[in-house]
Amino acid sequence: MSAGPALSPRARRQTAIPGFGLAFGITLFWLSAIVLVPLLALLLRPFELGLDGLWASLAEPRVAASLRLSFGAALLAAALAAPLGLLLAWAVVRLRFPGRAVLDAAIDLPFALPTAVAGLALTALLAPNGWLGAPLAAWFGWQVAFTPAGIVVALLFVALPFTARTVEPVLRDLGREAEEAAATLGASRLQTLRRVVLPALAPALLTGFGLGFARAVGEYGSVIFIAGNMPMVSEIAPLLITIRLEQFDYAGAAAIGLAMLLLAFGVLLLLNLAQRALRRGLA
């Protein structure tokens, strides 16, 4: 039999997606316009100060304190959201109780609620004369609002849904077969949770931690009311960026933004590497 006709180079380049070249070009254009160009401006603007000026701007005690507070509070909130989100996902997926649908809908409330409204509500609740703040101050001497603790509470509020919604589909797909097999082999509930369930959920938990951290580190609206905004005490980095913009110090504001970008990228890179290591261990 004779060989079929040779395909032209153009025919060989055809893909299963019609108009792939045009769609890819439009995607790159919008990615550049919305993401890459603003990031490039953020990278270049701080160097108007020069290297010495950039370092002096970031080395100010007020800037260093705000960066420590923003990243420390975001990491702590994401770490607290991981077990709490796992409990919420477990309750929604595995338990049956009255009001489960209401709890399931309430998990998404921070997504729909404007962050400023959430900040006002948390401040009214946790203020020294609030419904919850007054008993805490009277019984334990704790003041949550207008302190770094209030910032952590606000960031936990916005970070918690990310962990819960990330773990939930993985928990649904996990099934009960592995747990039942572990129980058949004599494992206790705690051993089953530690050796069967948690290893399978670990990549999703780590992903939820990363999403919660990324959401919390740049949070502004829900924090600004409850923080107290005291320099060197409860002033977050996004607020300091706003202050510098109001002072027309655009290069100084961009310098803080660049520092936040690099620090956040470093944390997310470490989380991505840890997640890959976990997946290799489970493979």
- Which ranges of the chain have pLDDT less than 70? 1-20, 281-283
Tell me, what's the pLDDT at 186?
78
Per-residue burial over 224-240, b if 16 or more Cβ lie within 10 Å, else e, is bbbbbbeeeebbbbbbb
Taking the alpha carbons of 63, 215, 223, 153 in that order, is the dihedral positive or negative?
Answer: negative
* Of 65, 97, 102, the residue nearest 227 (C-alpha): 65
Chain region(s) in the chain for CATH 1.10.3720.10: 60-282
- Integer Rg of the chain from CA: 24
The torsion of the CA quartet 158, 160, 163, 165, rounded to 10 degrees, works out to -80
**pLDDT attached to residue 6:** 53
- Which amino acid is it at 62? R
Amino acid in the structure at residue 135: P
**CATH number listed for the domain at residues 60-282:** 1.10.3720.10
pLDDT at 77: 95
Q: Give the pLDDT confidence score for residue 1 in this predicted structure.
A: 47
